[in-house]
């Protein structure tokens, strides 16, 4: 159920940006550039851009009447079929603007949801997107029934229309609950998969969309990962095995890219997918250093991780795409601003050895190593270790088995309480 019809491939669109007085012009420009990129990713062609600065938004239409008239004229003269607003619109604003423009009006969230719907491939991703779309659609049901009054006039139409709306709301609420239950089941399956992988170090790639995470994933794991120069090229979390410099096997997961103003419903729906980051040992934050607004992108990722309660986890900051930086001294100057980072080019395999070494060093620095001596008559406890620890070494002794293990921070108290008697 896409919020934009399939014929969007043929749609001619205009982009509209609203900014409060005093908002920096360069950032406003970047916001609109990103909106254009989103529209192109969805399949639309942005013919023109309009912006308006006001002290505060107009409650009924977001933008002023003069700007509305200017846009109306352009729509009629240029065969425009779609108007995209960079700000989220209320249901009332959307309804009023569609009445004025007489073409389809969507906001940034609706556009992002449509892109996600087009790119979802697995059952999990499709379920997550459908849930987010239904939650987005619920408060907008009223405007979808305005065709009743247009067709039949005012008398005798209000009752049936509102009855149908309430009926639809009930059906959508039921469907939302079904999708939530389905995601809970998928989450349980993922938890089992994670438990089965518990013995390997886990790294998770996070970052702003189109920062090069999938390219780095393909390089490190030597796997066939889908790569495309579009926003949200991949939605499904991919987990692949790779090798650290010491020869130790590890796991790397690639998560969905973040973006500013990411719809809250979408973030909530993708919690199970993003759990790969939550349960990882170390995060690798990939940044497109060639983007002039990379600092804003870093903040967006940090805020999204915070909203997901993924905090206080070891993190490696990776500045990707250094091949696109002509003045190399800029990279060194960033040391004054950022405490620690690894500059790389995933596309040209530049400085990848240093990154892998950094990943290994940080992993060992944040590891909890313990030795246990399990008597042979307590072999029933060894399964507990295999399921919750990473086995480093194992030796057969006269009175039992000596095990050197690494315990994740989240499992530490549980294991030590269970096996404290056998610590050596």
Radius of gyration of the chain (CA): 26
Contact 127, 179 (CB under 8 A): yes
Q: In the prediction, which pLDDT does 167 show?
A: 78
212/57 Cα distance (integer angstroms): 36
Q: In the prediction, which pLDDT does 372 show?
A: 94
Domains 6-119 and 197-365 share a fold: yes
Those residues whose C-beta lies under 8 Å from the C-beta of residue 7, and which sit 6 or more positions away, are: none
Residue 100, φ and ψ in degrees, nearest 5: -70, -45
Q: In the prediction, which pLDDT does 147 show?
A: 42
251/248 Cα distance (integer angstroms): 10
Contact 210, 291 (CB under 8 A): no
Q: In the prediction, which pLDDT does 216 show?
A: 95
Q: Which two tokens stand for residue 52?
A: 């308006």
Place of tokens 């892109």: 115
Cα dihedral 271, 276, 277, 278 sign:
positive
Centre a 10 Å sphere on the Cβ of residue 114 and count the other Cβ atoms it contains: 23
Residue 86: which of 144, 19, 135 has the closest Cα? 19
Q: In the prediction, which pLDDT does 266 show?
A: 74
**DSSP for 177-220?**
HHHHHHHHHHHHHHHHHHHHTTTS-EEEEEEBTTSSHHHHHHHH
First-to-final CA distance of the chain: 59
Contact 157, 148 (CB under 8 A): yes
What order of strands is seen across the sheet that includes strand 104-107?
45-54, 12-20, 82-85, 104-107
Q: What is the CB-side half-sphere exposure of residue 250 using CA atoms within 13 A? A: 24
Contact 246, 356 (CB under 8 A): no
Q: In the prediction, which pLDDT does 145 show?
A: 43
Q: Which two tokens stand for residue 38?
A: 């989103």
pTM: 0.77
Bridge partners (DSSP) listed for residue 266: none
Q: In the prediction, which pLDDT does 1 show?
A: 44
Longest dimension (CA), the chain: 93
91/99 Cα distance (integer angstroms): 12
pLDDT in tens, the chain (424 residues): 454 444 435 689 999 999 999 999 988 999 999 999 999 988 899 999 999 999 999 999 999 999 999 999 999 999 999 999 999 999 999 999 999 999 999 999 999 888 888 877 778 878 888 888 888 888 877 544 444 444 444 434 344 445 667 778 888 899 999 998 998 888 787 776 656 555 678 899 999 988 999 899 999 998 776 555 555 655 667 888 999 998 888 999 988 788 888 777 777 767 666 777 888 889 999 999 999 999 999 999 999 888 888 888 899 999 999 999 988 888 888 988 998 999 999 999 999 999 999 999 998 888 788 999 999 999 999 888 887 787 888 999 999 999 998 887 667 888 888 999 999 8
Q: In the prediction, which pLDDT does 4 show?
A: 44
Contact 269, 131 (CB under 8 A): yes
Domain 6-119 has CATH 3.10.580.10: no
Those residues whose C-beta lies under 8 Å from the C-beta of residue 367, and which sit 6 or more positions away, are: 406
* Residues written for the chain: 424
Distances (CA, A) of 16 to 42, 46, 260: 16, 10, 17
Q: In the prediction, which pLDDT does 406 show?
A: 81
Distances (CA, A) of 67 to 22, 105, 161: 19, 15, 32
Going from N- to C-terminal start, the domains of the chain cover: 6-119, 133-191, 197-365, 368-422
Q: Which fold has domain 197-365?
A: Rossmann fold (3.40.50)
């Amino acid at each position: 159920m896409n919020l934009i019809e399939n014929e969007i491939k043929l749609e001619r669109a205009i982009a509209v940006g609203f900014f409060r007085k005093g908002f920096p012009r360069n950032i406003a420009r970047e916001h609109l550039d990103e909106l254009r990129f989103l529209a192109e990713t969805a399949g639309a062609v942005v013919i023109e851009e309009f912006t308006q600065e006001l002290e505060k938004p107009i409650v009924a239409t977001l933008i002023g009447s003069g700007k509305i008239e200017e846009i109306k004229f352009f729509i009629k003269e240029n065969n425009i079929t779609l108007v995209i607003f960079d700000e989220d619109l209320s249901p009332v604003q959307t309804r009023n603007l569609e009445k004025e423009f007489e073409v389809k009006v969507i906001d940034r969230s609706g556009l992002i949801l449509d892109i996600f719907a087009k790119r979802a491939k697995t059952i999990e991703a499709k379920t997550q997107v459908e849930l987010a779309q239904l939650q987005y659609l619920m408060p907008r049901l009223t405007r979808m029934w305005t065709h009743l009054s247009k067709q039949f006039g005012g008398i005798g139409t209000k009752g049936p229309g509102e009855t149908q709306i309430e009926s639809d709301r009930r059906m959508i609420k039921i469907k939302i609950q079904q999708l939530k239950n389905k995601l809970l089941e998928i989450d349980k399956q993922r938890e089992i998969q994670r438990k089965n992988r518990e013995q390997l170090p886990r790294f998770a790639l996070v970052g702003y969309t189109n920062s090069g995470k999938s390219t780095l994933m393909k390089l490190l794991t030597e796997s066939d990962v889908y790569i495309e120069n579009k926003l949200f090229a991949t939605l499904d979390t991919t987990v692949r095995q790779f090798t650290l410099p010491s020869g130790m096997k590890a796991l790397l997961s690639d998560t969905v890219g973040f973006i500013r103003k990411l719809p809250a419903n979408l973030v909530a729906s993708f919690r199970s997918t993003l759990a790969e980051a939550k349960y990882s040992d170390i995060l690798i934050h990939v940044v497109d250093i060639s983007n002039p607004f990379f600092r804003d992108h870093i903040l967006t990722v940090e805020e999204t991780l915070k909203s997901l309660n993924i905090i206080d986890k070891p993190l490696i900051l990776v500045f990707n795409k250094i091949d696109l930086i002509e003045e190399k001294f800029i990279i060194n100057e960033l040391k004054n601003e950022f405490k620690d980072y690894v500059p790389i080019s995933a596309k040209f395999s530049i400085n990848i050895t240093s990154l892998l070494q950094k990943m290994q060093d940080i992993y060992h620095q944040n590891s909890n190593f313990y030795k246990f001596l399990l008597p042979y008559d307590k072999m029933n406890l060894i399964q507990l270790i295999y399921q919750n620890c990473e086995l480093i070494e194992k030796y057969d002794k006269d009175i039992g088995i000596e095990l050197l293990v690494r315990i994740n921070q989240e499992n530490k108290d549980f294991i030590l309480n269970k096996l404290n008697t056998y610590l050596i």
